[in-house]
Structure 1
Amino acid sequence: MPRKDGKRNFVLIEDDDEETSVFSGQYPRQAALKAARRLHPAPSRDEVDGKATLRLRERGTDRVHVYEGWAWTESKSDDDPEWMGDSVTRANVSKQGIEHLDE
């Protein structure tokens, strides 16, 4: 169910079907991008060699959004704030589909 501000909660499902972290966003892709930034990043965008499968269950439903995600680090730009440090983790995701839980 969406909150008053339109955001929905998505729970990350690990390989052992344990639900761990909660990510929020108006769209499932926003939550998947937040989850992908927690992956082990590659040194650069060109050196990304593996993609992780991210399964996000929307709270209050039986829908599981499945994404492939990957992350990399890059130097921060001049526009980025000082507190971010010297490098920034970027991420991208690709939707693989929607599954429905059988309960």
Structure 2
Amino acid sequence: MVREDGKRNFVMLEDGEKTKQFTGEMPRQAALKAARRLDGYESYDSESDAEADPTEIRLLERGTDRVHIYHAWAWEDTAPNTKPGWMKENNVSSVMRGNVSKQRIEHTDT
């Protein structure tokens, strides 16, 4: 269901349970946010290494019966030189980056 500002809400499904909520204008935008928060990818230094070990994420679009399924991976990268002030103040030197590949859309039975 689309909000007034054009964004949609997606809920991550893990083992059939609704866990975290992500917002985006498109499903991929929400999936990218979810990918950056995946556990277990802190040790990967490059995208190619992380891509070799993808995690399946399932995002239920609120207000519909659609479940968007992606292969997602993340890796740790150095912070850009143009980082914002709060990153400079807190001496943040690395950031998590993520990427996704859409696999399919399923429809729930409800």
Q: 1:1-103 to 2 correspondence within 5 Å?
A: 1-14=1-14, 16-39=15-38, 40-41=40-41, 42-48=44-50, 49-84=52-87, 85-103=92-110
Instruction: Give the TM-score of the pair, scaled to structure 1.
Output: 0.93
Work out the CA distance in 1 between the residues paired with 2:83 and 2:106. 37
- Cα deviation, residue 47, structure 1: 2.4
Letter in 2 for 1:20: T
Moved more, 77-86 or 50-59: 77-86
Work out the CA distance in 2 between the residues paired with 1:34 and 1:8. 13
| CA RMSD in angstroms, aligned pairs only | 1.2
- Cα deviation, residue 13, structure 1: 0.2
Which stretches of structure 1, 4 residues or more, deviate above 6 A after TM superposition?
A: none
Structure 1: gaps spanning 5 or more residues: none
Work out the CA distance in 2 between the residues paired with 1:56 and 1:3. 17
- Cα deviation, residue 102, structure 1: 1.1
Instruction: Give the TM-score of the pair, scaled to structure 2.
Output: 0.87
Structure 2: gaps spanning 5 or more residues: none
